[in-house]
Structure 1
């Protein structure tokens, strides 16, 4: 897939993935992995490196924000991401199944150890291949998150700078490269002018 951007996921594809993951051997963990990508915009490295200490409050409960530390991000672009309700519920479910400590990874392998970024990439590749989603990769959820956030940021009273911050990009130009265009939206926009 070198030289091409990962395809964004449609609402129907997201639903298909979530339905499929409900039947997998590690369905609770798998759901969190997928939602970290599509509902928080995490890169494969960030999914692999997020620890419970970045998710839990001082009282040991799943909070409302993930405090992604510099060590878990690309180019030390640590940031705080408010938790989407669906992602938070999945994290609560995973947390209820037991963890060993706050410094433990949220996403773990079958052997109970943290995954590497490459393992996360391979997991997404297998997932999308199994479902027949051509052109999708571990970055598809991230591109979907950024595109959806850009389309809805005005409704939330924000700007593209907010999307840039959530994505952990250093420039708006990089954020803009992630956003998928929509000719129907362009038509509606022009008719509003």
Structure 2
């Protein structure tokens, strides 16, 4: 996402600064909510099978686990995004234009942040596309699995980045000429 915006040499010249900061914060809210949703979905599935003997064990049916985790991830992603949509304006209220520009400029300057976006955005799109293709109806109630797939894909992209950067490259950056 960060590569979609122009990046100037100086923070005070940064265009689209509110769009850059807002999209970054909302996307991080999406990812954070997705991560919490995965934990909640796994906990709910596993604890539910232990606490109630009447339900079939989720270990016998992997689709039950995936479906619950996927829906929880979708709900968590929406809640995380909505929370940060409220928090960002509250946090930035009263800030001067240069503060918005500086924060957005620093996001674009941060190579680690750019790499995380490079890995997580394709994962988000792929996850949503796969789940949309699996959806057999145009029913609007099917948003949770699609958004959940996007959230899982996004987090899979972050894991891919971490493996690439810290597992394969040992945290070092390649020198580009």
**What TM-score bracket applies, with the shorter chain setting the length?**
under 0.3
Compute the TM-score of the two structures, normalised by the length of structure 2: 0.28
Q: Which has the higher strand share?
A: 1
Compute the TM-score of the two structures, normalised by the length of structure 1: 0.26
Q: Which has the higher helix share?
A: 2
Return the index of the structure with the highest Cα Rg.
2
